[in-house]
Amino acid sequence: MSTTTDPDTRPDGFRLGMLINDTRYRSYTFQFIALVLLILGLGYLISNLLDNLARAGLNISWAFLGEPAGYDINQRPIEYTSQSTHARASMVGAINTLIVAFLACISATVIGVVAGVLRLSNNWIVSKLMSVYVEAFRNVPVLIWILIIFLAMSNALPQPRTFRGDDATSSMLFDAIAVTNRGVYIPSFVNGAGSLIFWIVVIASIVGVFWYRKYAKKVLYATGRMLPTFLPSLGILIVPGLLAYFILGRPVTLEYPELSGFNFKGGIHLRLSLIALWFALAIYTGAFIAENVRAGIQAVSKGQTEAAGALGLRPGRIMNLVILPQALRVIIPPLISQYLNITKNSSLAIAVGYMDITGTLGGITLNQTGRAIEAILLLMLFYLVVSLSISAIMNVYNNRMKLQER
Amino acid sequence: MKKTVLFGALTVAGLAAAGAQAATLDDVQARGKLNCGVTTGVPGFGEPDANGVWQGFDVAVCRAVAAAVLGDPMAVEFVPTTGKTRFTALAAGEIDMLARNTTWTFSRDVDLKFEFVGVNYYDGQGFMVPKALGVNSAKELDGATVCIQTGTTTELNLADFFRSNNISYEPVPIETGSEAVQLFTAGSCDVYTTDASALAAQRANFANPGDYVVLPEIVSKEPLGPLVRHGDNEWGDIVRWTLNALITAEELGVTSDNIDELASAPGSNPEVNRLLGTEGTLGEMLGLSADFAKNAISAGGNYGEIFANNIGESTNIGLARGLNAQWTEGGLIYSPPFR
Ligand SMILES: N[C@@H](CCC(=O)N[C@@H](CS)C(=O)NCC(=O)O)C(=O)O
């Protein structure tokens, strides 16, 4: 097609007037002018800002990032002490943001899908219960939920010292889990010799399960024979791991939390702040996702259900094999924005003292160094990068799920 | 280099647009109100009473400045700030001054570009624990969970203290004092630490103050005082000499009872005369009326009266003067002369 559009490339070629008169160039001309104006406008704003800052004695400088932070952080996914730099403190905060956002996204999706499907249930009580859940959580600000959960837990749960002594009023669940008003302590893995092989086996079995299911599908499509999936999957998942565990001489052991001094020590400490934030974000956003799921399911025409029913599929299969795959096309785009909301809402963390990046870089660091503009710019950059990455990943997924036209 | 030329040209425009930095005094007078940054609520230091009127030791400084500048101690717009928001509020011009148990430190003075005009309370950081824990010294706190307010010197001192004593702790950072108290009394932390004065003030409001003890260690120096922005020295002088007037008044025996009489005519003590404006032109030098100090002192009494009425031994907070006695009484409170 493009071969027919340029018959008039005359040798004398280009005259300046063509920038305005020639339709081929005119739009470029105007776009260029708009670009220059935009750059000038931005330049003016930025230089005005820098200028006013300079006159207030505040110059943009990033040197503070290299100075010792001086404060401690409770949840440290990476090595950090009060002598580490502000940059390191920001990194700890960034990872903490990602941790809570990741946990909340997964849980919100599970909650949302379950609640959305159940809301359409034929069981009156179940569907009404789900409506109540959706309306209650959607219509109260998430900050309130974060605070309610945090305060309820800190006031209602027992203090660590009530676990002590012969007249202890609280006790650990299964001697392994301690639920206190400072958070939940759970056992952690201690990796001994040979643990690497064990973990490789575990991961390989998980991959194996997926591979087996794919294989079963292929057999089904090719021959119409339905292989059993549940028991073999379970077997693939558990047996190799168990074998490896005993053959390698129990390379991985559990470390149980134990009361010592003021607090429990050992195991993994899920702090109250993390739990409250995670839980609040998950149930709040779950309510929105439930609505998306419901909308997605209802968007699939009823004829599909009836047709599948006429073919003799059971209701569970109809949902999983016929309805949900089609509904996903409607569900995924709004799901992306829910994930973005979770990430952004996680910046409310400071309300419960969870040290996310807003709490470290945008909170203590900003406050102790007074570098407000620098810190806020970095914060914006961080959230922008995270949000764009989530969008990009989800868009790839969305494209894969889109209607494949053959 | 091209960029520099462009920016050079733009800077001219930027300069033109920015306008000169206005004098804070003019702003306050034009507004008819002083914007004063205070806490979000610490009993005795700064808290609205049952009628919503702000009361307290730090609040009294705001009222004195308003009285000195505007002649009306009630012409104050109180802006509650947290440990975290206070400096931004001051730097951005949202408030004209900050009177909120804020520690005078090198970096706040030099790097954050503020001007501390003096000290109205010499304090230090202390620790409070429930009696039931049986702890007698802060050095026994290894492994404890500690509630702190973010954005404070407390946070930094705490890290230093535990590190230098080689013991560990679990910090629980919190935004405001009242939330910290709530978590502490619910037992979510073993220890609450902040300025000793605030510990005493907040404990007085607990349901069972007797169940908690303040440990003997004072781990830092916390000179608390009012501050203003860099860059407006005239305004800094006004706040500084208003505070000094309150202190000098106590030293010279000028009280809210006798001030009207002393200010009615020049008396026998020339410094009292200069302070109250019956002699000399000190008020004029500040750009205020001759009786600015009289107004300031009449607002809530002299330094000693403000202390006694808000946080002194007769109140339920019950702080002794200690370091905060006049220098003539063996304390550190000392004002340069009015001359
Ligand atoms: N003096 C320290 C600490 C000041 C501070 O924030 N004190 C707390 C102690 S309770 C407070 O005033 N809180 C009241 C509030 O959050 O409004 C500093 O300047 O950093």
Nearest in space to B124 (alpha carbons), one of B161, B89, B98 = B161
Check pocket membership of B152 for ligand 1, CB cut-off 6 A: yes
Q: Cβ of A222: how many Cβ atoms within 10 Å?
A: 8
Check pocket membership of B244 for ligand 1, CB cut-off 6 A: no
Tell me the pLDDT tens digit for each residue of B303-332.
999 999 999 999 999 999 999 999 999 999
Whole-number Å distance between alpha carbons of A45 and A25: 30
Share of chain A above pLDDT 70, in %: 95
Residue A14 pLDDT greater than 90, yes or no: no
Nearest in space to A262 (alpha carbons), one of B239, B189, B266 = B189
Backbone angles phi, psi at B9, to 5 degrees: -65, -40
Tell me the pLDDT tens digit for each residue of B231-263.
899 999 999 999 999 999 999 999 999 999 999
pLDDT at B179: 87
Check pocket membership of B220 for ligand 1, CB cut-off 6 A: no
* Positive or negative torsion for Cα A160, A162, A166, A172: negative
CB A391 within 8 A of CB A383: no
Which of B151, B163, B174 is nearest residue A353 as measured by Cβ atoms? B174
Q: Do B143 and A155 touch (CB under 8 A)?
A: no
**Three-class secondary structure of residue A219 per DSSP:** helix
Residue A123 pLDDT greater than 50, yes or no: yes
Average of pLDDT values for A106-114? 95
Contact list in A for residue B183 (CB cut-off 8 A) is: 154
pLDDT at A104: 96
Residue of A nearest to B105 (CA): A368
Average per-residue pLDDT for chain A: 87
CB neighbour list of residue B271: distance below 8 Å, 6 or more residues apart: B248, B252, B337, B338, B339
Contact list in A for residue B18 (CB cut-off 8 A) is: 48, 51-52, 55
Average of pLDDT values for A158-180? 78
Tell me the pLDDT tens digit for each residue of A182-231.
888 988 888 877 788 888 888 999 999 999 989 988 888 888 887 888 88
Identity of the amino acid at A122: N
Report angle CA B261, B266, B269 to the nearest 5 degrees. 95
Place of tokens 């050079």: B8
Check pocket membership of B155 for ligand 1, CB cut-off 6 A: no
Q: Is A30's Cβ below 8 Å from some Cβ in B?
A: no
Containing A107, the helix (H) or strand (E) segment is helix A86-119
Tell me the pLDDT tens digit for each residue of B262-301.
999 898 999 999 999 999 899 999 999 999 999 999 999 9
| Interface pTM, i.e. ipTM | 0.79
Domains of chain B: 24-120+225-329 (3.40.190.10), 123-221 (3.40.190.10)
CB B331 within 8 A of CB B324: yes
Q: Ligand 1, from B38, B81, B87, B100: best to mutate by most atoms within 8 Å of Cβ?
A: B100
- The stretches in chain B having pLDDT less than 70 are 1-22
**Three-class secondary structure of residue A72 per DSSP:** coil
Identity of the amino acid at A361: L
Check pocket membership of B153 for ligand 1, CB cut-off 6 A: yes
Compute, in angstroms, the gap from residue B182 CA to the centroid of ligand 1. Answer: 15
pLDDT at A130: 93
Helices (H), A311-365: 315-317, 324-345, 357-359
Q: Do A47 and B183 touch (CB under 8 A)?
A: no
pLDDT at B8: 47
Residue of A nearest to B107 (CA): A369
Q: Is A240's Cβ below 8 Å from some Cβ in B?
A: no
Point out the ligand 1 atom lying closest to the alpha carbon of residue B176. 16
pLDDT at B11: 44
pLDDT at A405: 63
Query: Residues A37-68, buried b or exposed e (16+ Cβ, 10 A)?
Result: eeeeeebbeebbebbbeeebebeeeeebbeee
CB B197 within 8 A of CB B43: no
Point out the ligand 1 atom lying closest to the alpha carbon of residue B199. 10
* Cα dist from A377 to A383, B40, B210, whole Å: 10, 28, 48
Check pocket membership of B277 for ligand 1, CB cut-off 6 A: no
Its CATH architecture, for the domain A86-187+256-389, is Orthogonal Bundle (1.10)
Whole-number Å distance between alpha carbons of A111 and A39: 46
CA nearest ligand 1 atom 3, residue: B152
Q: Is A82's Cβ below 8 Å from some Cβ in B?
A: yes
Kindly tell me the burial class for residue A203, based on how many C-beta atoms sit within 10 Å of its own C-beta (0-12, 13-18, 19 or more).
exposed
Q: Do A364 and B18 touch (CB under 8 A)?
A: no
Q: Is A76's Cβ below 8 Å from some Cβ in B?
A: no
Domain ranges of chain A: 86-187+256-389
pLDDT at B57: 95
Which pairs count as long-range contacts for A159-162, CB under 8 Å and 24+ apart, including other chains?
A: A159/B187, A159/B188, A160/A259, A160/A262, A160/A263, A160/A264, A161/A262, A161/B132, A161/B133
Residue of A nearest to B93 (CA): A56
pLDDT at B9: 44
Tell me the pLDDT tens digit for each residue of A303-322.
988 999 899 888 888 888 88
CB neighbour list of residue A47: distance below 8 Å, 6 or more residues apart: B7, B10, B11, B13, B14
CB A209 within 8 A of CB A181: no
Average of pLDDT values for A342-370? 91
Tell me the pLDDT tens digit for each residue of A51-109.
887 776 667 889 999 999 999 999 999 999 989 999 999 999 999 999 999 999 999 99
CB B164 within 8 A of CB B121: no
Tell me the pLDDT tens digit for each residue of A261-297.
888 888 888 999 999 999 999 999 999 999 999 999 9
Phi-psi region of B68 (alpha: psi -120 to 50; beta: other; left: phi over 0): alpha
Contact list in A for residue B141 (CB cut-off 8 A) is: 262
Containing A258, the helix (H) or strand (E) segment is strand A258-260
pLDDT at A406: 57
Whole-number Å distance between alpha carbons of A371 and B102: 19
Residue A12 pLDDT greater than 70, yes or no: no
Check pocket membership of B302 for ligand 1, CB cut-off 6 A: no
Nearest in space to A198 (alpha carbons), one of A233, A249, A234, A232 = A249
Place of tokens 């704003």: A45
